[in-house]
Structure 1
């Protein structure tokens, strides 16, 4: 009787472990994304007002004998240029001191990258093998970001709260500081699930934005960003 009871318990444990394994890969990825998400936002998003706030022309351009531009002689700045530079500095400081929230649009549907990230993983993290799930996996999942506490002034809002028509999101006037849209792909892990890579991007206009390849790793039981590479710029 005891043998039958023990066998039943072992069978239940195996069945439970089997069911749990089916959920493990996706749930593990969601947990990692949740943990590292504030760092991803800090590392990729920006206040567009500062990003495109280029200083005005100041001084007289200098050209070499071949007619190629080599620099600027700031000692020859005009009175008008000096005034514009002063106004730019004042406006820049005003933006930096502004404590209002920086609103970012985020699409919570996390999809696989169009690129195969396995090779990037193996190239960056030497002597590692990419994790390939044996079971059928979902191509995308809905990421619940609303309850994640961010570290700074950024506030994320669901992309579906903004105009869906092409280009309308940039043409619309908002009563808040809208800075752009951010997206991330699913994570490609190594076999031990201690290393990973994903793609991301921040778009601040029709011809404004940057793309990133983000390498992450688990260190001292905590997931951190190891390196970010720029993949495109507009």
Structure 2
């Protein structure tokens, strides 16, 4: 009996090892989209982020005096640029922009608690995209849903931090409420769709800065020659 046990023990160890490897492989496959999302997230954020505080304001009323039935918008703007008023307006704007750039106030971006939505339109556009890369396929891999972990969301800008959407009021009250922190935008993301080789992917992202003030982007990603995920192409999908 003891000899039999000694003979079966190595077999048991090998079987257990193979089983564990299989489980880890299945888990790795299930988490693939999540792993890629966190890796490429800083680049995705760079693709959609904009600080509306440094977007130039519209020209003042003085600009419009150059416009009449015989002058189009471009010509009127060029005329305004030749005036002393424009020089003063531009100098004041540069000071404002510089002040914002030097401001150390934390910029908060609000993110969904989980990534779970998918876009059928992305599937069609993605097939066109991978066709351009001479990698045609009708077999796509859609990532699993997963809960976002704030500690894994990295940004190339030190001032940016993240908060969960569930921590704030719902609906329009989110934007109507006064906060003691600066909230720049609310973000949204779709699950990443991959081609069957897992070398190309697409994710849909939204950047909303207020009621009727935001935009969406379709972001195509790919592996570079070093095996790192990078943003390859960005398309606008909607604007409000």
TM bucket (normalised to shorter chain) is 0.7 to 0.9
Listed one character per residue, the Cα deviations across residues 67-113 of structure 1 (whole Å, up to 9, x for unaligned) are 8645312178586x776555444323322222222111111310132
SS at match of 1:46: coil
SS at match of 1:117: helix
- Whole-Å separation in 2 of the counterparts to 1:108 and 1:17: 31
Aligned to 1:216: 221
Aligned to 2:48: 44
In the TM superposition, 1:15-30 aligns within 5 A as: 15-30=19-34
- Whole-Å separation in 2 of the counterparts to 1:52 and 1:185: 31
Listed one character per residue, the Cα deviations across residues 2-44 of structure 1 (whole Å, up to 9, x for unaligned) are 9966765554454334323432333111111111111222221
SS at match of 2:120: coil
**Alpha-carbon distance change, 148 to 76 in structure 1, aligned in 2, over 3 angstroms:** closer
Structure 1: give runs of 5+ residues left out of the alignment. none
SS at match of 1:124: helix
* Structure 1 length-normalised TM: 0.81
Higher helix share: 2
Structure 2: give runs of 5+ residues left out of the alignment. none
Of residues 136, 141, 151 in structure 2, which corresponds to 1:128? 136
Listed one character per residue, the Cα deviations across residues 45-79 of structure 1 (whole Å, up to 9, x for unaligned) are 222212474443453333454x8645312178586
Listed one character per residue, the Cα deviations across residues 195-224 of structure 1 (whole Å, up to 9, x for unaligned) are 110100100011111100011111112111
Asked if the contact 1:212/1:230 (under 8 Å) is kept, the reply is yes
- Whole-Å separation in 2 of the counterparts to 1:75 and 1:15: 72
Asked if the contact 1:45/1:182 (under 8 Å) is kept, the reply is no
Q: Does 1:230 align with 2:236?
A: yes
Q: Does 1:115 align with 2:120?
A: yes
- Whole-Å separation in 2 of the counterparts to 1:119 and 1:223: 22
Higher strand share: 1
SS at match of 1:215: strand
